[in-house]
Amino acid sequence: MSTIKQFQVTFDCAEPERVGRFWCEVLGYVPPAPPVGFATWDDFNRSLPPEERGSRFACSDPTGVGPRLYFQRVPEGKVVKNRVHLDVRVGTGLVGEERVAALEAECARLVPLGAVRVQLLVADEKNESCLLMQDVEGNEFCLD
């Protein structure tokens, strides 16, 4: 029998803290405490060489259930659609208009945080409705 492995989801981005704090708000995640010897993450960042300041950010599920999210600065910008994306499960167990209302309510909460509403994909014979969104750097995710 195989063992369950822990994993983290890594985001390549231009502004790790900005993207990470967005996902903290979306998911209710929290950043870890600053390293020992530093009162704040800002203090820690100031201790790094200039080229490394703000180059990474992480956050995790405070309950310990969900995966850790890690954000790393990369020089290139996003060019095409993500090959992997997150589905934020806000409509689980809901169908029809009730599901769409839950998706739209979550969309309304996320847009002021910097998310972009892209398209409502309406239910068909195989799938329930979901709402395609983009985060603060244009990475696709779904409200599902």
Task: Round to whole Å and give the CA distance between 72 and 93.
Answer: 34
Under the banding of pLDDT at 50, 70 and 90, the label for residue 3 is: confident
Please report the pLDDT score of residue 126 as a whole number: 83
- What strands lie across the sheet with 56-59, from one edge to the other? 8-13, 68-73, 56-59
> Mean of the per-residue pLDDT values for the chain?
92
Percent of the residues in the chain that have a pLDDT greater than 90, as a whole number: 77
pTM summary value:
0.87
Q: How confident is the model at residue 83 (pLDDT cuts 50, 70, 90)?
A: confident
Residue 30's nearest CA partner among 19, 21, 17 is: 21
Residues 100-122, mean pLDDT to the nearest whole number: 97
Q: How far apart are CA 109 and CA 92, in angstroms?
A: 18
Q: What is residue 24's predicted lDDT score, i.e. its pLDDT?
A: 97
pLDDT higher than 70, residue 1: no
Assign 81 a pLDDT band (cuts: 50, 70, 90).
confident
pLDDT band of 27, cuts 50, 70, 90: very high
DSSP 8-state assignment for residue 142: E
| Phi, psi for residue 102 in degrees, rounded to 5 | -65, -40
Region 36-48: mean pLDDT is: 91
